[in-house]
Amino acid sequence: MKYTRILTGAWLLCAAFAVYAAGNIPSLPTGFDSSFVQTRTLPGFNLPLVSRGTLHIDNTHGFRWEITSPYHYVFVMNGDNAQEQLPDGTIRHLNPEQTPWLAAVEHIFVSALAGDRTDLQQYFVVIVTQLPKGQRILLTPKPGPMANAINNILVTESAPGHPQRLIIKENSGGSMDIRFGPESRTASGS
């Protein structure tokens, strides 16, 4: 039916990364536990929005994203279950199928940690630059809906499998810059 084309197209744009959802995410050899500073720049808005928090990923507990400043916000996803705790304390359950970025974010981190970039190469032009410690990986979306929203993604490692910085540049002019703290460390995989 014609409208299914619209549906597919609209959803493709929003779910550009969703291809990495459940079933496609590699297992983590180790976990990831780090503080971070997130700087968000909105198009046409000079003042960057800065927040701080922690990120914890492991194969048992899944993905936990916690903002501690300037407000408290927690996002947890494990398998098909996802929920968030809002700054006012409200708990909200999310439908992962309708929040495709969840799986995307999880996958980017997990792929980087697992050292598995085969999947990434299907959807991005991947340019890897060797650094004294680790690598810098530039992901440029291949033509398609993802390229409509994302200009590029830059992941810098502090050591192999240890992301130090993640920058997402949007076509709208906005950007997301996440710097992981120096205390970044690996944890047990399970």
Q: Which residues bind another protein (CB under 8 A)?
A: 1-16, 18-19, 21, 23-24, 38, 40, 42-45, 47, 49, 51, 53, 63, 65, 67, 69-71, 73, 75, 82, 84, 86-88, 94, 97-102, 104-105, 118-119, 122-123, 142-145, 149-150, 168, 170, 172-174, 176
Whether the CB-CB separation of 32 and 159 falls below 8 Å is answered with no
E strand intervals along 32-112 = 32-41, 49-58, 62-69, 73-78, 81-85, 91-94
**What are the residue ranges of helices labelled H in 67-160?**
100-114, 118-123, 145-149
Task: Give the C-alpha distances (Å, rounded to integers) separating 153 from 109, 123, 143.
Answer: 12, 12, 15
Q: How far is the CB of 14 from another protein (least distance, A)?
A: 5
Q: What is the residue-wise DSSP string for 107-127? A: HHHHHHHHT--HHHHHHEEEE
Whether the CB-CB separation of 188 and 32 falls below 8 Å is answered with no
Whether the CB-CB separation of 66 and 51 falls below 8 Å is answered with no
Q: How far is the CB of 85 from another protein (least distance, A)?
A: 10
Q: How far is the CB of 126 from another protein (least distance, A)?
A: 14
| Nearer of residues 70 and 160 to another protein, judged by Cβ | 70
Q: How far is the CB of 50 from another protein (least distance, A)?
A: 9
CA 111 to chain centre: 10
Q: How far is the CB of 113 from another protein (least distance, A)?
A: 15
Q: How far is the CB of 133 from another protein (least distance, A)?
A: 26
- Write out the H or E segment, with its range, that includes residue 9: helix 2-14
| Nearer of residues 137 and 146 to another protein, judged by Cβ | 146
